[in-house]
Each structure stands twice: as structure tokens, then as C-alpha cells.
Structure 1
Amino acid sequence: MNGVSTSVIAVCGTLAGSALTYLFARLTARRAEKAAREERLRQERIAAYAAFAGAMTALRQKMISLWLVRQRDQDVAEIRAAYTEADQCGAAADHARFQVRLLTEDAELLRLADAAFGPIAALGKAADRAELAGHETRSQEVLTAFVEAAGRQLR
């Protein structure tokens, strides 16, 4: 009888050890999966935020170029080409903003992404170079605020 109870205790101990090992392995795997998912999301956010900042910078440059072309030339073909380039950059910036929207729920970041378009739109309506420079500065300030908010989220 003593040998049977020893065997039963040994089997129960082995089963308990196996069960605990399985549970700990499963918890560890879940933690690793969660950490990997969070890191992938972080990397996607970095790429999207950087792409947005780059697209907005390119759009600002194209809008300034368009303004300058409209001020100095009456060549319809050159103005049309400048409009086309600015429009393409605008579409790329809008696409980048959609990516930002897909990857974050941060209200401040979303507000700043939307606000970044305001000063750029105002560039085309500038009456003179001083006003153009003011809109350009404001655009850079809003974009810098976006990048700083994005950096805080990513740290």
C-alpha cells in the first residue's frame, strides 16, 4: 500500500508540475506576443508620423514654389505645372494624415495633424512675401508641435 500511495503522489506531483510549467509558458508567450505587438505598433507609428512630417514639409515647399511662380510669371504652363505638383503633395500629405489617424487615438496628435494644414492653405492666399514668411513660420511651428507630441507618445 505504501508503494501505491508513493506512486500516486509522484504521478500527482508530475501532473501538477507539468500543468504549472504549461501555464507559466503560456503566460510568458502571451507577454512576449503582447510586447512584440506593441513594438510593431510603435514602429508603425514612427514611420507614419515621420511620413506625415515629411509630406507636410514637401507640401509647404511646393505651395511656396507655387506662390512664387504665380507672383513672377504669367506662363500658364508653368503655373499649371506648379499647381499639379502642389496638388500631388497635398494628396500625399492627406494620405499620410489618414495613416496617422489609423494608428493613434491621441486627441492632441490628431488635432495637430489637422491643424498643420491651416497655415499651408494660407500660403496660397498670402498678399506679399512677409505674409508668406509668416504662414511658413506658423506652419513650421505647428509641425514642430506635432513632432514633439508624437515623440512624447512614442517614449
Structure 2
Amino acid sequence: MSAVLGSLIAVLGTLLGSFSTYLFQQRTAVRAEAVAREERLRQERLAAYSEFAAAVTELKRAVVAVWLQQSDPAELNHVLSEADRLGALAETARFRLRLVSGQPEPLADAAFAHMDALRGAVDQAELKLREAEFEAAVSAFITAAAGHLVVSRRAAP
């Protein structure tokens, strides 16, 4: 009888050990999946922030080219077309940023809004001033974006 009891205890111990191992592995897998999901989202955000900053900077370059070519009608149509194309790309990048971040991005909107100020510059000195303001707005956006990315990384389980 004691042999049967010993065997029964051994079988129960093995089953208990197997079940607890299963539970620990399950928890580890769920945790690893959550970390991977959070990292994918962080990478998406990083790509969206970078894409927007690049697109709005290219748009600024095109808007300045339009401003500089105002006196050359032959070249003006070409640079206007390029500015329009880049404006659409920047707007698309801004929409993607909003979708990925899941919240309004007022600093991105502020950087984008500087295009009107650039277009309206009355002389080269004002154009330089507006460019500096634009660069400060983009810098503020990037600083805030970096902060969002660091916070999301720390928040991962």
C-alpha cells in the first residue's frame, strides 16, 4: 500500500509541476506579446513623427523656393507645382501622425501653420525670420515627440 501511495504522490507532484510550469510559461508569453506589441506601436510612432518632420521641412524648402522665384514666371509654375505636391505629402504625413498617435498633435499643427507666414513674407529679412520661427516650431515638435517615445518605452510592461 505504501508503494501505491508513494507512486500516487509522485504522479500528483509531477502533474502539479507540469501545471505550474504551464501557467508560468503562459504568463511569460502574454507579457512578451504585450512588450512586442508596445514596441511595434513605438516604432510606428517613431516612423510617423520622423515622416512628418521630414515632409514639413521639405514643404518649407518648396515654399521658400516659390517665394524666391516669384519674379521669374517661367520657373514659378514649376516650383508652385512642386510645393503643391509636397504640401499634399506633408498633409498626408500629418494625418498619419494623428492616426498613429491617437491624439491631437498641436505642435505638428503649429509647425504646419508656419507655411502661411513663410508665403506672406514681404522681404528677405522677414523670410529669414519666418524660417527661424518655423525651425523653432519643428524643433519643439521633435522634442515633444522624443518625450512621447521615451514615455511609451518606459510604460511597456
**TM-score of the two chains, using structure 1 as the length reference:** 0.90
Compute the RMSD of aligned alpha carbons.
1.4
- Cross-structure match for 1:86: 83
User: Aligned runs of 1:62-101 on 2, under 5 Å?
Assistant: 62-70=62-70, 72-73=71-72, 75=73, 77-101=74-98
Q: Which runs of 5+ in 2 are unaligned?
A: 151-157
> In the TM superposition, what whole-angstrom CA distance separates every residue of 1:23-72 from its partner, at most 9, and x where no partner exists?
111111111111111222222222211111111110000000001111x2
Q: Aligned ranges for residues 122-141 of structure 1 at < 5 Å? A: 122-141=117-136
Deviation sequence 1:92-143 (CA, Å, 0-9, x none): 1111111211221455xx1111111111122111111122122111111110
With structure 2 as the length reference, what TM-score do the two structures score?
0.89
Counterpart position of 1:32: 32
Q: Does 1:119 align with 2:114?
A: yes
| Cα shift at 1:78 | 2.1
Runs of 4+ off more than 3 Å: none
Which residue does 2:3 correspond to in 1? Answer: 3
Q: Which runs of 5+ in 1 are unaligned?
A: none
Structure ranking higher on relative contact order (CA contacts 8 Å, 6+ apart): 2
Q: Tell whether 2:100 aligns with 1:103.
A: yes
Contact 1:49/1:100 (8 A) holds in 2: yes
